[in-house]
Chain A
Amino acid sequence: MKNNDKLLFRAVGLYIIFGLLLAWCLVGKYSALPWVEKILPGNPHRILQGHLDFLLMSALILGASATRVRLSWHIRWSMVIGAFTNSSSVIVFAMFPSADPGSEAYISGLPVNNMISFLMRISFIITTYGFGGAAICIFLSTFEKSKLYTEHLKNNDILLLRAAGLYLIIALILAWTLIGKYNGMAVVEKLLPGNPHRILQTHIGFLLGTALILGIAAAPAKIAWHIRWALVIGAFTNTNIFLSFAMFPVADPGSDAYLSGLLANEIFGYFTRVSFVVTTYGFVGSGVSIVKSTFSGTKTNF
């Protein structure tokens, strides 16, 4: 077991179980089971969010652990604590609808709500420190001059790990941008006047992209350079489509401000199609390379 692994593995083991437990709670909630209804009287969407957050955080921690980059104890602990508090904060909303700002039962000004809001900010800071620190370490580990440089990097790793590190940092910046948007920060409002849901989509897209890239990078398969580049470019451009919608609501087909027939929107439409093709080539190419590597005697086998 590597030095990173014990704490991270233990946490992931628990988080996967929490994620599954929440899936069952969601089934119980939709089936109107009285004891689930009693424990979680709030919006079922919050349970779904908690379930997905636990799974995504688990995939990210597993991916970060698989890089074999040496992470300091405080970064590892921050990842583990942040992942737990961040994912479970939405469960608090499901348990106490009066604390959920998205609920009709929300009571603003309650001291306990102010405290929850304050604790959530601390949780965001811890999560950012943990995952941001891990992202920087993963990024630096690909440079030979860095102290964190890992000599066992396979040919896949350098580009993929660099991209994963950067995407994780971008995702965290977007999380803070989203908080700024919800709090009506003027700079954020000016830069991203569109639907905040689009920022959320970009944030989740980057997190999911990072988890997938780290999982693919850890697979014992040789992936051709053009597939690796397609993977990295596709994940970046595809996710940024949502950010473009947040920046320019006139380009967002889901927005009331959408202007159909604009030349810029037509060009953007073609750009998104190209991005989808590149993403498909990258991810499907990687998937096929990994599957091929499981058969002996193929070129993608290490």
Chain B
Amino acid sequence: MKNNDKILLRGGSLFVCIGLLLAWCLIGSYSGVSYVKAVFPGDPQRILQAHLYFLYMGALTLGLRATELPLYWHIKWSMVIGAFTFSGIFLVSAMFPATDPRSDLYMPELKINDIAHYLSRFSFIITTYGFGGAGISLFRYTVSNK
């Protein structure tokens, strides 16, 4: 197994599994299944967004793993953590509609929303560092390996 493989393979595969699980939650939400509604009382569109992002991130992570490029450990970890937290933001909005700015139940005055706001920005930075770092590494690799 190559040096990249473990973390990216585990991360990418888990994202695919979570994406599929969310597809079932979406069906449950549309079908009005009570326990799904209890867990995700917010907009089902948010579950759909999370489902799609987990699949996109899964495909990208597995695709980048397939390049067999030697990536730094901090870039690999940032990719995996960033992909998870970035996609998870939509799940939080579906679980707690009071934190979803697009929801009628949104409460901007809540302290927790300020924290959620900074956490989501932090997640964007980690995702950018991970995937941006992988993008730059990929580009640099093609320049240094003539």
Which residues of A line the B interface, CB within 8 A?
Answer: 1, 5-7, 9-10, 12-17, 19-20, 23-24, 27, 52, 55-56, 58-59, 62-63, 65-66, 208, 211-212, 214-216, 218-221, 276, 279-280, 283-284, 286-288, 290-291, 293-294
Contact between A291 and B14, CB atoms less than 8 A apart = yes
User: Nearest 4 pairs between A and B by C-beta?
Assistant: A215-B62, A62-B63, A13-B139, A66-B66
Considering the chains assembled together, what is the distance between the CA atoms of A135 and B2 in angstroms?
27
Dominant SS among interface residues on chain B: helix
Q: What are the residues of chain B within 8 A of A1 when measuring CB–CB? A: 141-142, 145
Q: Taking the nearest CB of chain B, how far is it from the CB of A115, in angstroms?
A: 31
Q: Which of B5, B27, B67, B124 contacts A23 (CB 8 A)?
A: B124
Closest to A221 in B: B9
Contact between B136 and A63, CB atoms less than 8 A apart = no
Contact between A283 and B17, CB atoms less than 8 A apart = yes
Q: Taking the nearest CB of chain B, how far is it from the CB of A231, in angstroms?
A: 10
Q: Which of A13, A27, A52, A59 contacts B142 (CB 8 A)?
A: A13
With known contacts A24-B128, A215-B58, A219-B62, A287–B139 Cβ distance under 8 A? no
Contact between A286 and B142, CB atoms less than 8 A apart = no
Q: What are the residues of chain A within 8 A of B60 when measuring CB–CB? A: 16, 55, 58-59, 62
Considering the chains assembled together, what is the distance between the CA atoms of A282 and B67 in angstroms?
24
Contact between B131 and A211, CB atoms less than 8 A apart = no
Q: What are the residues of chain B within 8 A of A212 when measuring CB–CB? A: 16, 55, 58-59, 62
Closest to B61 in A: A215
Q: What are the residues of chain A within 8 A of B55 when measuring CB–CB? A: 208, 212
Given A59-B63, A65-B67: 4 more A-B contacts, CB < 8 Å = A58-B60, A62-B66, A283-B19, A293-B9
Q: What are the residues of chain A within 8 A of B23 when measuring CB–CB? A: 276, 279-280
Closest to B12 in A: A215
Size of interface on B: residues with Cβ below 8 Å to A:
47
Contact between A290 and B13, CB atoms less than 8 A apart = yes
B74 at the A interface (CB under 8 A): no
B135 at the A interface (CB under 8 A): yes
Closest to A12 in B: B138
Contact between B5 and A294, CB atoms less than 8 A apart = yes
Contact between A286 and B5, CB atoms less than 8 A apart = no
Q: What are the residues of chain B within 8 A of A65 when measuring CB–CB? A: 66-67
Q: Which of B24, B52, B56, B145 has the most CB of A within 10 A?
A: B56
Q: What are the residues of chain B within 8 A of A10 when measuring CB–CB? A: 138-139, 142-143
Q: Taking the nearest CB of chain B, how far is it from the CB of A202, in angstroms?
A: 14
Contact between A20 and B132, CB atoms less than 8 A apart = yes
Contact between A52 and B5, CB atoms less than 8 A apart = no
Contact between B13 and A279, CB atoms less than 8 A apart = no
Contact between B124 and A63, CB atoms less than 8 A apart = no
Contact between A276 and B24, CB atoms less than 8 A apart = yes
Contact between B135 and A14, CB atoms less than 8 A apart = yes
Contact with A along B1-39 (1 / 0, CB 8 A): 110011001101110110111011001000000000000
Q: What are the residues of chain B within 8 A of A218 when measuring CB–CB? A: 62-63, 65-66
Q: Taking the nearest CB of chain B, how far is it from the CB of A156, in angstroms?
A: 13
Considering the chains assembled together, what is the distance between the CA atoms of A63 and B61 in angstroms?
11
Q: Taking the nearest CB of chain B, how far is it from the CB of A281, in angstroms?
A: 9
Contact between B56 and A219, CB atoms less than 8 A apart = no
Considering the chains assembled together, what is the distance between the CA atoms of A143 and B56 in angstroms?
30
Q: Taking the nearest CB of chain A, how far is it from the CB of B107, in angstroms?
A: 18
Considering the chains assembled together, what is the distance between the CA atoms of A19 and B135 in angstroms?
10
Considering the chains assembled together, what is the distance between the CA atoms of A219 and B12 in angstroms?
10
Q: What are the residues of chain B within 8 A of A9 when measuring CB–CB? A: 67, 138-139, 141-142
Q: Taking the nearest CB of chain B, how far is it from the CB of A259, in angstroms?
A: 18
Contact between A211 and B65, CB atoms less than 8 A apart = no
Contact between B128 and A215, CB atoms less than 8 A apart = no
- Chain B, 96-146, CB within 8 A of any chain A CB: 121, 124, 127-128, 131-132, 134-143, 145
